[in-house]
Amino acid sequence: MFTISPSLYSADLLDLREVIGKLKGFEHLHLDIDDGNFVRGISFGMEVVKGVAECTEIPLDAHLEVLNPMEYVEPLCEAGVEMICAHVESLDFPSLFLGSVHQYGKKAGLALNVKTPIEFIEPYVDRIEQLILVSCEADAEGLKFQTGVLKKISKARKILGKNTRIWVDGGINEDNLKDVIVAGADGVVIGRAVFGSNNPSESYARLLALGRKYEKGVIKNEI
């Protein structure tokens, strides 16, 4: 079933405890772990992750945009993060990462930047529970959704089948949500479209309902 994982990095970082306490109906909460090297920004350290986990029962998932993903597996798992994805671009041995996450009884996945061909995940199809396809790049146009990723989503769905989650992360909003779902995604990471509103819970519920409406249309067309 289609789901949304709102990125906490787009929330008010100076008042996370209060923000999280007001969230209602969230099925997931997304943690971008950025080290300032793999990507330009620096986001949450492990102490903040631990604090977030202690003040909510919402399932947490983490997207590692870091140079050394293996260093984060143990602290994230011990903090209670349920699902962890790392970029193939920063993994010399993706199987080692996936196996390490699974040893803690957590779900593991891989992530691909816009420029990385989908074929990079084929050797690991039977070992991942999730694929994150990044759909924007920091460029002169800002963090804008790259429509070319739609073909990549379709390819990924053919490779992975229906049992692996495909989430799309970057520049997702109400205008392109349907296109992403029709292409084959069953989840999206959304930041500003949820936490940039006056009422994140209402925005989340509206977008989730809209996404599930589009998903029903896709399933109906397949029957």
Catalytic residues: 32, 169
Per DSSP, 213 falls in state H
Residue 50 phi/psi, 5° resolution?
Answer: -60, -40
Q: Which two tokens stand for residue 153?
A: 């989503």
Strand pairing partners for 32? 63
CA distance 52 to 49: 5
Alpha helices per DSSP H over 28-171: 46-54, 70-79, 94-103, 149-160
Residue where the block lists tokens 């010399």: 92
Cβ atoms of 181 and 160 within 8 Å: the answer is no
How remote is the C-alpha of 187 from its chain's centroid? 8
Strand pairing partners for 107? 83
Cβ atoms of 35 and 67 within 8 Å: the answer is yes
